[in-house]
Amino acid sequence: MSSNRPDKNPNKWLVLISLPIQMGIVIFAFSWVGALLDEKYPNEGSWYRKGFILAGVFLSLYYLIRQVQNLDKKN
């Protein structure tokens, strides 16, 4: 018995392919905010940008791990 209802689970390959794009956007956005803060509040070594990039990497890794765990639970 088949139904014409679309599958509610997205293709896991599409989710995995979109994750690097999302990671890049998050890291770029955090880097941009850090650069703006470095311009507004100058300091030696561009610490705002470095700190925000590091925070963006950790946030995107957290999101990556969460998405992979959700894919694993669905299958």
- What is each CA distance from 54 to 14, 27, 28, 49, in whole angstroms? 27, 8, 11, 9
6 or 38, which is more confident? 38
Kindly indicate the confidence band of residue 8, based on its pLDDT and cuts at 50, 70 and 90.
low
Q: Position of tokens 């890049």? A: 24
Give me the chain's average pLDDT, please.
Answer: 87
In sequence order, what E strands does the chain have? Answer: none
What are the structural domain ranges in the chain? 12-73
pLDDT at res. 4: 64
Mean pLDDT across 39-50:
92
Share of residues in the chain with pLDDT > 70 (%):
85
Mean pLDDT across 41-57:
94
